[in-house]
Amino acid sequence: DIPTLEECYGEYPKPNKDDHKKHAPNALWSKRISMWKGDITKLQIDAVVNAANESLLGGGGIDGAIHRAAGRELLVECRTLRGCPTGEAKSTKAYRLPSKRIIHTVGPIGENSSKLTSCYNSVLEIVKDEKLKSVAFCCISTGIYGYDNRNAADVALKTVRAWMDSHPNEAREIERVVFCVFLDKDVQIYETLLPHYFPKD
């Protein structure tokens, strides 16, 4: 019952590499964006984003779920990274996960929009540098770290849209950005905000 990336595309059509020739580029990012509700450790995708802490040595929430599913080898690699400052990101292999890479980012404790913005930008820089074709974000900082869900989703969508607008050539190399939501309230929030930041036409 592991969903393939195709299955998590949802209602959004597949991207067409030539689309940007026919339309204004900024209107097209919606074709590369999806929302998927469920356990991020099940996604067959190039990279999944972990909401970690500065130690990068595991914890509760999604961090615990990813470490449990990936296995002990993930912790061994994480130890070599010597932590990660808030707002930054570091990648590892994905071990027993069906994804290829895990991008660990450390969200702010409480609401700090510039640090949360920095998390999304740092992840996208790794996606670009590693030439990854697809990435699934989780709702960074909105669990144990206590960021308001609506405000965090606003930052997430605004930052991804702004990054795509400011890096159009790199963004065209990314086939899919999935917002992996876990809670019903985030489904509602993303359903409301996605058309605002990624209008379909």
> What residues line the site for ligand AR6 (CB under 6 A)?
39-41, 51-53, 59-63, 65, 107, 138-145, 180, 182-183, 186
Cα 154 to chain centroid distance, Å, stands at 14
55's CB contacts (< 8 A; 6+ apart) are 83
Q: How far apart are CB 40 and ligand AR6 at their closest, in Å?
A: 4
Q: How far apart are CB 48 and ligand AR6 at their closest, in Å?
A: 8
> What is the dihedral sign for C-alpha 173, 94, 120, 138?
positive
Q: How far apart are CB 36 and ligand AR6 at their closest, in Å?
A: 9
Quick one: tokens of 56?
Answer: 């990068």
Quick one: tokens of 73?
Answer: 């080898």
Nearer to ligand AR6, 63 or 88 (CB): 63
Nearer to ligand AR6, 97 or 132 (CB): 97
Nearer to ligand AR6, 124 or 180 (CB): 180
Q: How far apart are CB 162 and ligand AR6 at their closest, in Å?
A: 21
Q: How far apart are CB 19 and ligand AR6 at their closest, in Å?
A: 30
Nearer to ligand AR6, 138 or 164 (CB): 138
Nearer to ligand AR6, 175 or 186 (CB): 186
CA–CA separation, 34 and 190 (whole Å): 10
Q: Output the CA–CA distances (angstroms, integers) from residue 128 to 135, 136, 146, in the order listed.
A: 11, 14, 29
DSSP state of 95: T
